[in-house]
Structure formats: structure tokens, C-alpha cells
Structure 1
Amino acid sequence: MRRTALFDVHQRLGAAFTGFAGWEMPLRYGSDVAEHHAVRKSAGLFDLGHMGQIEVSGAEAAAFLDHALVGKLSAVKPGRAKYTMLCHTTGGVLDDLVVYRLAADRFLVVANAANAPVVRAMLGEHSGGFAVAVTALDRALIAVQGPEAVSIVGEYPDLKYYAIQPSVVAGKDVLLARTGYTGEDGFEIYCANQDAAAIWEWASAAGAVPAGLACRDTLRLEAGMPLYGHELSIRTTPFDAGLGRIVALDKRDFVGAAALRAAEPAVELVGLVTRGRRSPRAGYDVVDAATGEKVGEVTSGAPSPTLGHPIALAYVTKNLDPGRLAVDVRGKREDVEIVPLPFYQRPR
């Protein structure tokens, strides 16, 4: 398996490792729950060096990304970012992405680790006829997330949410972004591999708590954020996931446009809560509690450290009359209730 530039640091910290998308990544350093609470109450420190980073540059970079992705990237101003997706011609999601516009003719596309090879390949395939270069980058990515992230990283009054700018952090030249995947305020720091350890140690010394993949998953679940391979896949469209707002159907043409314009979702993504102690998990059936008829399937589920009870995301039949619903948890039904998303929203 591949290792990030911070692997030796994680080893020294006594991290428990797991294989993830071909990478050996820290799952936890001690307690999942303690790391989760640290992000919600102070600040957590994450190694995201496994994420795919792809630069798209050239005179027609904006026009090319308008064609390849579902969003209107030409409308993004330099220094800002956009959440978008790469879809198949069938309308199914190949990956969800954050795209930063670094300059008029230069973009940074950040892909999920498991999908990075596919995103690179598909962008290359779609680039024919456009004056662009698609280049895979090899550098580190560190996130500082939580209510104390600003006091740790520093005040950047011009750096709004979903913005990016060249900065100096711990004496190192970086790209500093006001983005994240936890539901908290925070920063993502793009830096050279050789600078990653110094930046990590600097942030840790300032109070950021090392946090692993396990708590990152419960944090994003509480924030109602989809995870590829769970809420998103080639079998789902952005509309199924309630993300139709990111599809710019007014664009003249783009990959998957015909299928997405004709899409009529039969399911919808909802939030579920239970007051019991047993958690719905991915793959569990959602059923009508009265009849036992299957009406959906859980995509992600876990006990919520912040809320104190189990939560889950699930696809259910669209326009379902909820009535009494339950999840089949290893042969026993656990009553659940549909609630608005996100489950958790940080105080403003």
C-alpha cells in the first residue's frame, strides 16, 4: 500500500493503521470518540495526503471543465472553490470533487482517494479538442478543523468559506483553503511533501489534536455529507442524493447532460434517527414497520458522539409516506424516524 509523507509521524504517535483506497492510513491515535469531540470542541488535525490532486491548466481550462463536470466552473472567480461532480454519460456519479480556481487558466481538482485514477483518466479522455493540460500532482494535504482552527492557523480576513490563497504556514509556502469535510470551520493546507511534517508538528504544538479516518467518518455523517461508495456511486445521480442544485442544466452541453436532463429519481436520500442503542449500518433494510415491506436501504450509519444517539443516511422510495419505519438490525427491527439534514450544524 502507498504511504503519505506523514506516515513516519503517525507511527511515532502510535496510530492504528488501516488500508484505505490503496493507502496505509491512520484510523485512530487513541479514542475515536475523543478525537471526534476534539474536532467539535477545539480542533482536529487530519492527514489527507491520500486524496487525488489534479491540475487542469491552459487557455481553455474553464471551458473544458464546464464540459467535463456538472457544474459551471467558468463562473468561479480566481481564488474561490466549487463542489461539483464528474458523471458518466449515463448520469451516474463517478466522483464528487472540490475544484479550486487558482488563476484564470489554472484549476486544482481534488478527488476522493479511491477514485483519483478514474478522475485523472476521464479528464484526460474528455480533454480531446481543448487546449488544456491535465497533470497529476504529488504533494501533501493537511486539514485543521474545528472552532479553534482559526486561532491555530491564523486570522485570514480575506479567506472566505470555499476560498483559497497562497499563504505561509509554519514558515512554509502553501496553498491555504477554507474548506473541509467535518461540518466545522477550518482549513485545508496544500504543501510540498517535504514540508508536511513541519506543518503537522507546528499545528499539533499549537493545540490541534491528531485525528484519524474513524472520527472523520462520524463527523461527516453528522454533517450530512455524502461519501462516495456509500451515498454516491455510478448507480446514483446527483438528483438521487438531493444534490441536483449543483448540476448546471442551463449549460449547452456537458458529459452526462442528456441523461441528467431526463432523470426521474425513484429514491431520495434521507436522514434517520433512532432512540435505541443499536445503530443502523450500511446495507441494512429500511422497512415499513407495519407490513415489513422494504422501502429503502441504509447507506451509512453510526452512533453520533455529538448527539448521543444513532444516526443514519438511507435511500428510501421517493415521496414515501413515512408512517412508522424501522431498520432491520441483524434480524431485529429498530424503529427510526426521518429527520431533516444535516443532523448537526455548527453554531454560527
Structure 2
Amino acid sequence: MLKRTPLFPVYAEHGARVIDFGGWELPVQFTGIQKEHDAVRQQAGLFDVSHMGEVRVTGEDALPFLQKITTNDVAKLENGQCQYSLMCYPDGGVVDDLLVYKLGDNNYMLVINASNIDKDVAWMQQNLTGHTEITNISDETAMLAVQGPHAEQILAKLTDAPIQTLKTFRFLPDVKVADINALLSRTGYTGEDGFELYVDQHDAVQLWKLLLEAGQEYGLVPAGLGARDTLRFEARLPLYGQELSNEISPLEAGLNYFVKLDKGDFIGRDVIAEHKANGAPRKLVGIEMIDRGIPRPHYKVFTLEGTPIGEVTTGTQSPTFKTNVGLALIDSAYSALGTEVNVEIRGAQVKAKIVATPFYKRKP
């Protein structure tokens, strides 16, 4: 039986095509991936991300516990600030990537990937130290995301909260959006400006409708997982299970910035420090096809001489640029920009080259 978010009842009203996504019945698209992608790049899109997991971490030892299980430096967070981070296994592989929200002293919320909720909570329980309490609040929490250049104007119609001055990776813990209580953050997973609204699951449908109504004049459209994937891919934002896994370290995925080796010990630090000192054996790179063909996940990558050097993690025709591009995890020795490689597409070796990423950057 597939799980459903509190917003499942409204999908049909917007013509959603639903798929099984990691055990959840979620919309891959409403009006079409290209249309939804363009709306987020040019106006705004509304995403149901209620399948994501939320976990409260509280108690007098919450900070040392989080320092132990995550790679970023939680001690640097102020109240009302959040950070991107990773949880690793001792061998440097990634348990999950996540966001850490600091609600107050000894009071944090972690936002984790939907397909990893049970695994992540079990991992945290297994590594629990001191006076720390973990509470999985995923089932009672809904999460909606408004993304795109007009996101701020749309939300400003529904709240008096000072969102105009809210900086990226900051949040307001308790605001009224219309008459609904929400935690409102400004992070985004699309390469555009955007806000996330965490609300009680019972308020999700009402908030969805209010946002769509408020966003009508700005071209706001419901957007599904398809556009979410193409948008995050163009911005080179990783997806767990593709650019990250228990077999891929944060440094191999190019996430060095979110690993703070100088903060003290944490799970996986030794292997990651070794990668930093001697270079990671593999590297995540951008590829662009020279010959015809679209690189897809798990397509093998070879040198021009035919030596296997890795595989594609994500690939598609970029909806923004109409180029056939991908991300590939390959042997670091072949990762220099401009290097030509072959991608095996349906049994044929097709030429591509290593290119700079992200493929898309928002204009300031």
C-alpha cells in the first residue's frame, strides 16, 4: 500500500499523473514537466513536499549529538538559521543529506528524505548519546514549497511576517499565513528563490488552495516531481539515491563545503579526511553530449579507448537550455574540464565531454 500525503485529495483537481516514488503515491506532473519547469524559472511553482521527513532533536546534549552524526558545524547556527548537512557511515558513505533547523538552545528540527525516514531515525537512535531525545514528527507535518522569482510577492499577500528581509537559509518559527500557523523558511531546491511552509497536516489542503489563489496573478502553477528533478539537476543539487548513497562520500559528490573537518570528530570523519588529503578516488562531474543521445542514470561512462570509468547519476535534456546533459560519477583521473568521454547509450558508445556545473545559475 503506497503512502499518501495530506494533499493527495487535491491532485486530481489539477489533472495530476501520480507515480510510486519511494513508496509514496506522488504527482510526477500536473500540466507537463516542461511547462512546470518554465513556470518555476520565470514565475512560480507550488510543490507538495509533505512526504519529506521531520525529526525533532531536543535535550541538553542535542548539540554534541548532532555534531557527532552530521558533517557540517551545527555550533555555528543561530536561532532561526538552518544549514545543509550530511549524515555519514564510518566508511564515509552517506546515510542521508538533510537540513538542520535551529529552533532554540537544545532544540532542533532535521528535515530528511522521504525514502530514508525509517533508516535515518534508526541510525540516530543507534548513535544516541547523553540527554538527547529524538521525536519523529513526519506524519503530523505537511510541507509546501513555493519556488520561483515571484515566490516572495505571492507569500506577501498572505502574511504580515517580514519575509522581504528573510535571508536565505533563515526561517521564522511561528508565523501566520492567512490564518494558518506555519514555520516558514527560505531555502529551496530548484536553483530559484523559494520558501517552505511547514504546517499541521490538517491545514495542508486549505493552505494549498490559498497559495494557488494568491499566486494566480503571478502565474503560479502546481508542480510535480518531474519538474522538481529537472530544476534541482540544472542547479547541480544532489538527489539521494543518485548523486549520494551509502557508496558515495560527500567529497566524491563535490560537497566539500558542507563538511567541516575542523569542528572535531564525527562519524565518517577519518575516511573523509583521507579523501581531502589525498584526493577522492571518484568525482561527480557535468557531461554534455557531443553526439546525439540523452545520458540517463546508470548509463556507463568510458574513456575514448574503452576503459570503464564510471556511470551517469542523473541525465536529461535540459528544459532550460535544450542541451543533452548529465552528472556522472567517474574516476577522478578523467575529470578535467574538456575531457572527452564515451557514454554507452543502448549498446552504442556515444561521445560527450566534461563541462562545468551548475548548468543553471539564477541571476542575482
Q: Please tell me the TM-score bracket, short chain as reference.
A: over 0.9
Opposite residue 294 of structure 1, the aligned amino acid is P
Cα separation, 2, equivalents of 1:28 and 1:219 = 13
- Could you say which residue in structure 1 is the equivalent of 2:202? 194
CA deviations over 1:178-237 (Å, ceiling 9, x no partner): 011111001010001111111111111123210000111111110001111111011111
- Could you say which residue in structure 1 is the equivalent of 2:159? none
- Could you say which residue in structure 2 is the equivalent of 1:269? 284
Cα deviation for residue 296 of structure 1 reads: 2.2
1:312 counterpart SS class: strand
2:118 counterpart SS class: helix
Cα separation, 2, equivalents of 1:181 and 1:13 = 22
The answer to whether the aligner puts 1:49 opposite 2:81 as a matched pair is: no
The answer to whether the Cα contact below 8 Å between 1:268 and 1:317 also exists between their aligned partners in 2 is: yes
Cα deviation for residue 170 of structure 1 reads: 2.3
- Could you say which residue in structure 1 is the equivalent of 2:86? 85
Correspondence for 2:343 among 297, 306, 327: 327
TM-score (norm 1): 0.96
Opposite residue 133 of structure 2, the aligned amino acid is A
Cα separation, 1, equivalents of 2:266 and 2:194 = 32
Correspondence for 2:167 among 143, 160, 166: 160
Opposite residue 270 of structure 2, the aligned amino acid is A
Aligned ranges for residues 101-116 of structure 1 at < 5 Å? Answer: 101-116=102-117
Aligned ranges for residues 142-161 of structure 1 at < 5 Å? Answer: 142-154=144-156, 156-161=163-168
Structure 1: tracts of 5 or more residues without a match: none
Correspondence for 1:241 among 245, 248, 253: 253
Opposite residue 64 of structure 1, the aligned amino acid is F
Correspondence for 1:183 among 181, 191, 207: 191
- Could you say which residue in structure 2 is the equivalent of 1:255? 267
1:184 counterpart SS class: coil
The answer to whether the aligner puts 1:303 opposite 2:293 as a matched pair is: no
Cα separation, 2, equivalents of 1:323 and 1:201 = 49
Percent identity over the alignment is 39
Coordinate RMSD, CA, aligned = 1.4
- Could you say which residue in structure 2 is the equivalent of 1:203? 211
The answer to whether the aligner puts 1:285 opposite 2:284 as a matched pair is: no
Opposite residue 31 of structure 1, the aligned amino acid is G
The answer to whether the Cα contact below 8 Å between 1:288 and 1:323 also exists between their aligned partners in 2 is: no
CA deviations over 1:126-173 (Å, ceiling 9, x no partner): 113x21110001210000000010110126133100011122112211
Cα separation, 1, equivalents of 2:83 and 2:314 = 25
The answer to whether the aligner puts 1:337 opposite 2:353 as a matched pair is: yes
CA deviations over 1:270-289 (Å, ceiling 9, x no partner): 01112555210011112223
Q: Residues 275 and 145 of structure 1: is their aligned pair in 2 closer, same or farther, counting only changes over 3 Å?
A: farther
Q: Residues 152 and 277 of structure 1: is their aligned pair in 2 closer, same or farther, counting only changes over 3 Å?
A: farther
Cα separation, 2, equivalents of 1:157 and 1:58 = 33
Structure 2: tracts of 5 or more residues without a match: 157-161
- Could you say which residue in structure 1 is the equivalent of 2:326? 312
TM-score (norm 2): 0.92
Cα separation, 1, equivalents of 2:321 and 2:126 = 45
CA deviations over 1:260-319 (Å, ceiling 9, x no partner): 222341110001112555210011112223x12222211110111101111100012113
- Could you say which residue in structure 2 is the equivalent of 1:223? 235
> Larger helix proportion, structure 1 or 2?
2
Q: Which stretch of structure 1 is more off in the superposition, 250-259 or 93-102? A: 250-259
Q: Residues 140 and 285 of structure 1: is their aligned pair in 2 closer, same or farther, counting only changes over 3 Å?
A: same
The answer to whether the Cα contact below 8 Å between 1:277 and 1:309 also exists between their aligned partners in 2 is: no
